Amino acid sequence: MSKLKPQKEYEKTKAFHFFRWLSGSKDPYLGEVEMKPQKEWKVEESTIQERMREKQMLRDKVYDVEHNDKLIFFHKVYAIAAIFFCIALAGLLLYTVSYLPETGAADRPVNNEVPARYIENGLQETGAVNIVTGMILDYRAFDTFGESNVLFVATVTVLILLHTNKKKSKDGKADEEPENDRIYEPKNDAILQAGAKVLVPIIILFGIYVILNGHLSPGGGFSGGAIIGAGLILYLNAFGFKKTEKLFTEKTYKVISFAALTTYCLAKSYSFYTGANHMESHIPLGIPGHILSSGLILVLNICVGMVVACTMYTFYVMFRKGDF
Amino acid sequence: MTIFQLMLMGFLIVCAVSVSFSKNLLNSILIYMSYSLVMSILWVCLESPDLAITEAAVGAGVTSILFFATLKKIHAIQIEKEVKDKEEAEREEQSHE
């Protein structure tokens, strides 16, 4: 058990010195540092008047479009030059594109041994009928993991930028804005609510279908997650924040994102550990064409889908309210 | 390349040009939305349905919703409404006179 030391003994310890240096009350080179309260910054009246005069002068002499010849000349040259550069750039790009080989031609530089291997052995090695998903989540799964992390970092950045501080809202002034934002919602829009009642379950079901069938049909984690996120946003628009808060809070977002990214990381680490050099991975690939097949791809698809759906919804909530 | 694809390409160019020329921000977002939708049809024509689904969900759905939310946040939609209200009020005054 640790005991609290008396004040005189505590002042001799290194921790005391460190925290004294950290708080800035004593500097090891300068000695005691006196803390002075700063003067409040004020703008003198003469400077304001001078600024107003300069602004007026700019408005009267420089930005007088009708009488300033140089400005008229500049505007004309600027417009002509902008159009000229746009056309030149478009022409240059089109000229370059004309040298590209035709779509689907046999002698394209892309047609080397890598896609041949993917197409010939993809079904056998990954068990996914949809070769694109097999490529994204098996051969190139490490890239997809990086993509999921990029999306997560983007959400964290949005959270940092748009999250309103809850402590400020207690003062009274900042409290009004989120309340105002709730007033803007069309809470009792009958058409929107009736449409949402029919559409939201279908949209979310379709998203789940796209995620679960990612290895069989077009789609996958990212697109299915985006569809589910769009459905959640529609529900939020129709019925307001109070109903969605029952289902989805900041804690839900944190838990789902963390769990999904960790599962992805662990599953892919195992797969790389055992399968990257064609060793036996003990994960059955199943019969191609069944829902429960293609090994880890289904799990990875579900993880990516959950992260993307939560991210889309969180983006929208942050933009609207700045808070969950 | 079929005539249908060429028509879609032409529509893409028209959309891209008119986004920058429209003066109303709300209109340009709607045009951008239709650009994404046409693009997703083109992806289907180019035999990549995976990209088509993603383009329709992200480009036409979520991105434009985020643009709308941003417009609301910077009160760009609200201001237009106020301007219209003012114009209507002036018209009513003139008609009363």
Q: What angle do CA A139, A142, A143 make, to 5 degrees?
A: 95
The reported pLDDT for the residue numbered B97 is 58
Query: What is the torsional sign of CA A43, A47, A53, A59?
Result: negative
Q: Which residues of chain B neighbour A103 with C-beta distances below 8 Å?
A: 46
Total domain count, chain B: 1
CA–CA separation, B19 and B41 (whole Å): 19
Segment holding A32, helix H or strand E: strand A31-32
Residue range of the domain that includes B15: 3-96
Alpha helix stretches (DSSP H) within chain A:
7-10, 14-23, 45-57, 69-97, 113-126, 131-134, 141-162, 176-184, 190-212, 221-239, 241-247, 250-275, 297-320
Residue of B nearest to A309 (CA): B62
Average the pLDDT over B74-89 and give the result.
67
Q: In DSSP terms, which residues pair with A26 in a beta bridge?
A: A32
Q: Band of the pLDDT at B10, cuts 50, 70, 90?
A: very high
**Contact B69/A316, CB-based, under 8 Å?**
yes
- One-character DSSP codes across chain B: --HHHHHHHHHHHHHHHHHHH-S-HHHHHHHHHHHHHHHHHHHHHTT-HHHHHHIIIIIIIIHHHHHHHHHHHTTHHHHHHHHHHHHHHHHHHHHH-
Q: Which residues of chain B neighbour A320 with C-beta distances below 8 Å?
A: 69, 72-73
User: Rounded to a whole number, what is the largest CA-CA distance in chain A?
Assistant: 85
Q: In tens digits, what is the pLDDT along chain A, a chain of 324 residues?
A: 456 777 777 777 888 888 877 777 777 677 776 667 777 777 788 889 999 998 888 887 777 777 778 888 888 999 999 999 999 999 999 999 988 887 777 777 777 888 888 888 777 777 778 788 888 877 777 787 788 788 788 888 888 887 776 655 444 444 445 555 555 555 667 888 888 899 999 999 999 998 988 888 888 888 899 999 989 988 888 887 777 778 888 888 889 988 988 888 888 777 777 765 555 666 667 777 777 777 778 888 898 889 889 888 888 888 877 666
CA–CA separation, A164 and B66 (whole Å): 18
- One-character DSSP codes across A301-313: HHHHHHHHHHHHH
**Contact A316/B70, CB-based, under 8 Å?**
no
Instruction: Give the amino acid at A301.
Output: N
Assess contact for B61 and A230: CB atoms under 8 A: yes
**Contact A230/B66, CB-based, under 8 Å?**
no
Assess contact for A299 and A234: CB atoms under 8 A: no
* CB contact A223 to B (< 8 Å): yes
Out of A103, A227, A315, the one facing B66 most closely (by C-beta) is A315
**Contact B54/A222, CB-based, under 8 Å?**
yes
Q: Which residues of chain B neighbour A219 with C-beta distances below 8 Å?
A: 49-50, 53
More confident residue, B61 or A28: B61
**Contact A233/B62, CB-based, under 8 Å?**
yes
User: How far, in Å, are A41, A62, A161, A275, B30 from residue A49 at the CA level?
Assistant: 17, 19, 36, 75, 45
- Put simply, the chain B residues between 19 and 48 with a CB less than 8 A from any chain A CB are 46, 48
The reported pLDDT for the residue numbered A198 is 92
Q: Which residues of chain A neighbour B65 with C-beta distances below 8 Å?
A: 230, 233, 316
The reported pLDDT for the residue numbered A141 is 76
Distance from CA of B58 to the nearest CA of A (A): 6
User: How far, in Å, are A155, A299, B37 from residue B11 at the CA level?
Assistant: 34, 40, 11
Q: Band of the pLDDT at B84, cuts 50, 70, 90?
A: low
ipTM over 0.90: no
Residue of B nearest to A102 (CA): B1
**Contact A230/B69, CB-based, under 8 Å?**
no
Q: Which residues of chain B neighbour A316 with C-beta distances below 8 Å?
A: 62, 65-66, 69
**Contact A220/B50, CB-based, under 8 Å?**
yes
Instruction: Give SS3 for A27.
Output: strand
**Contact A223/B69, CB-based, under 8 Å?**
no
CA–CA separation, B93 and B89 (whole Å): 6
**Contact A222/B65, CB-based, under 8 Å?**
no
Place of tokens 């109070």: A242
Assess contact for A217 and A289: CB atoms under 8 A: no
Instruction: Give SS3 for A31.
Output: strand
**Contact A229/B65, CB-based, under 8 Å?**
no
Distance from CA of A190 to the nearest CA of B (A): 20
CA–CA separation, A248 and B57 (whole Å): 21
